[in-house]
């Protein structure tokens, strides 16, 4: 299964495409990841157009089966929240027009899924994403791309294409033998 994760932003939008074969966390493979930077574009409509066009191009290149995006979070600044909502909107429209199944995850859910800690910071998320996808250390400016990869990983885990969910430790061990150290 191919999953496109998107970390929306009006200045920098991260995207990450992974493939998973459904045999635990070791089955994740990064296909493509990067950022869409629109800092130098002065008008909001042009920024949104750039995000829409570039996400559409990523979709066309990779033909993802599913699309996952971070939910909007509410900040003290209403203007920032509105701008973030617009970036989310154009990314969602790009996925919808491509008729891809869409899922949304809260930031705390993503952090918990990838690091085990819902309050993890960006460096912890990046470390775990690099470890899960066996990626070399990259330039720090790709933090938004690592966040997008984390969103895609979260979706894979939540959809059961990664490790299976378990109701008890006994079930966890039975469902995820590759994650148990002996």
Helix 122-133 / helix 107-115 crossing angle, nearest 10 deg:
50
Element containing residue 127 per DSSP (H, E): helix 122-133
The β-bridge relationship of strands 12-20 and 2-7 is antiparallel
Q: What is the mean pLDDT of residues 14-23?
A: 87
Instruction: Out of 63-67, 155-159, 172-176, give the one with best mean pLDDT.
Output: 63-67
Burial class (CB in 10 A: 0-12, 13-18, 19+), 169: exposed
Which of 19, 66, 126, 144 is labelled catalytic?
144
pLDDT at 81 over 90: no
Is 70 known to be catalytic? yes
For residue 120, give the nearest of 105, 108, 102, 135 by alpha carbon.
Answer: 108
Q: What is the mean pLDDT of residues 12-21?
A: 94
Which of 19, 66, 70, 126 is labelled catalytic?
70
Global confidence as pTM: 0.83
Segment 40-78, tens digit of pLDDT: 888 999 999 999 999 999 999 999 999 999 997 666 678
Segment 91-145, tens digit of pLDDT: 999 999 999 999 999 999 999 999 999 999 989 999 999 999 988 876 666 889 9
Which of 7, 19, 126, 147 is labelled catalytic?
7
pLDDT-derived band at 12, boundaries 50, 70, 90: very high
For residue 119, the tally of other CB atoms under 10 A from its CB is: 10
Is 7 known to be catalytic? yes
Instruction: Give the alpha-carbon dihedral of 71, 77, 78, 82, to 10 degrees.
Output: -50
């Amino acid at each position: 299964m191919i999953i496109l994760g998107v970390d929306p932003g009006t200045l920098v939008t991260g995207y990450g495409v992974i493939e998973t074969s459904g045999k635990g966390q070791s089955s994740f493979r990064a296909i493509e990841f990067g950022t869409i930077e629109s800092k130098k574009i002065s008008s909001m409509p042009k920024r949104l157009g750039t995000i829409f066009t570039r996400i559409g191009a990523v979709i066309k290149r990779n033909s993802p089966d599913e699309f996952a995006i971070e939910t909007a979070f509410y900040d003290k600044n209403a203007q920032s929240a509105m701008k973030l909502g617009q970036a989310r909107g154009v990314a969602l429209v790009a996925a919808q027009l491509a008729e891809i199944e869409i899922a949304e995850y809260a930031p705390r859910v993503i952090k918990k899924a990838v690091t085990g800690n819902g309050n993890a910071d960006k460096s912890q998320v990046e470390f775990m994403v690099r470890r899960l996808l066996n990626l070399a250390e990259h330039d720090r400016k790709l933090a938004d791309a690592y966040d997008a990869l984390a969103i895609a990983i979260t979706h894979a885990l939540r959809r059961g294409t990664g490790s299976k969910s378990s109701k008890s430790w006994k079930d966890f061990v039975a469902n995820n033998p590759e994650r148990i150290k002996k």
